[in-house]
Amino acid sequence: MKVPSSLDSAVDLFRNIGSFAANTVSPRVRLGVTGLSRSGKTVFTTALIHHLVGVSPMPVFRASSEGRIRRAVLDDQPDDAVPRFPFEEHLATLAEPHRRWPESTTHIAELRVLIEYERRTGWRSGPASLAIDIVDYPGEWLVDLALIDKNFATWSRETMAASRTPQRAAIAGPWLAALAELDPRKPATEPEIARLSNLFKDYLTALREGPERVATTPPGRFLMPGDLAGSPALTFSPLDLASGQEPVSRSLHAQMERRFDAYRTHVVRPFFRDHFARLDRQLVLVDVLSALDSGPAALAELEEALDQVLIAFRAGSNSFLSQLFSPRIDRVLFAATKADHLHRTDHARLEAILRLLVDRALRRTQGAGARVDVLALASVRATREGSVRSGRETLPAIIGTPEAGERIGDEIFDGETEAAVFPGELPDDPQAVFNGVIPPGALRFPRFRPPLRTPDAAGRIPALPHIRLDRAIEFLIGDRLL
- Distance between CA 111 and CA 167 in Å, rounded? 40
**285 plus 241 within the same structural domain:** no
> How many whole angstroms separate alpha carbon 184 and alpha carbon 199?
17
**Average confidence score pLDDT of the chain:** 87
* Owning domain of residue 236: 150-267
In angstroms, the CA 428 to CA 244 distance is: 49
Domain boundary among 217, 238, 267: 267
Q: Is the dihedral of CA 209, 212, 216, 217 positive or negative?
A: negative
Q: Are residues 323 and 472 in the same domain?
A: yes
Q: 157-161, 392-396, 475-479 — which is least confidently predicted?
A: 392-396
**CB within 8 A of 377, min separation 6: which ones?**
335, 336, 337, 339, 466, 467, 468, 469, 471, 472
Same domain, 259 and 159: yes
Rounded to whole angstroms, the Cα distance separating 464 from 321 reads 42
Average pLDDT over residues 371-396: 92
Q: Are residues 25 and 117 in the same domain?
A: yes
pLDDT band at 4 (very low <50, low <70, confident <90, very high): very low
Q: Is 416 a member of any domain?
A: no
With b for 16 or more beta-carbon neighbours within 10 A and e for fewer, the 211-228 pattern comes to: bbbbbbbbbbbbbbbeeb
For residues 206 and 201, what is the distance between their CA atoms, to the nearest angstrom?
Answer: 9
Which SS3 state, helix, strand or coil, does residue 421 take?
strand
321 three-class SS: helix
Taking alpha carbons only, the member of 338, 340, 343, 316 closest to residue 327 is 316
Q: Are 11 and 274 in contact (CB under 8 A)?
A: no
Look at residue 21 and tell me if it is in a domain: yes
Mark whether 126 and 179 lie in a shared domain: no
d(CA 462, CA 456): 8
Residue 156 predicted with pLDDT over 50: yes
Do 17 and 119 share a structural domain?
A: yes
Task: Assess if residue 143 is contained within a domain.
Answer: no
Stretch 257-261: mean pLDDT, rounded? 97
**Residue 121 sits in the same domain as residue 178:** no
φ and ψ at 389, to 5 degrees? -95, 135
pLDDT band at 321 (very low <50, low <70, confident <90, very high): very low
Residue 112 belongs to a domain: yes
64 and 94 share one domain: yes
- Judge if 217 and 336 occupy the same domain: no
Query: Is 46 part of a structural domain of the chain?
Result: yes
Q: What's the structural domain count of the chain? A: 2
Q: Does any domain span residue 249?
A: yes
Amino acid at the residue 251: S
Given 267, 289, 312, the domain boundary residue is: 267
Same domain for 160 and 129? no
Residues 295, 208 share a domain: no
- Indicate which CATH number applies to the domain containing 61: 3.40.50.300
Per-residue model confidence (pLDDT) at position 444: 81
Whether residue 254 is found in the same domain as residue 287: no
- What is the pairing mode between strands 281-286 and 28-35? parallel
Cis peptide before 225 (omega within 30 of 0): no
User: Do 238 and 160 form a contact (C-beta atoms < 8 A)?
Assistant: yes
Residue 435 placed within a domain: no
pLDDT at 122: 67
User: Helix/strand/coil (H, E, C) string of 325-366?
Assistant: HCCCECEEEEEECCHHHCCHHHHHHHHHHHHHHCHHHHHHHH
Contact indicator for 369, 461 with CB cutoff of 8 Å: no
Query: Cα torsion at 68, 71, 72, 73 (round to 10°)?
Result: -170
pLDDT per residue over 434-475, tens digit each?
888 888 777 888 999 999 998 888 888 999 999 999 999 999
> Which residue among 217, 232, 267 closes a domain?
267
Residue 455 lies in a domain: no
pLDDT higher than threshold 70 for residue 316: no
Q: What is the arithmetic mean of pLDDT over 185-208? A: 94
- d(Cα 192, Cα 167) in Å, to the nearest integer? 27
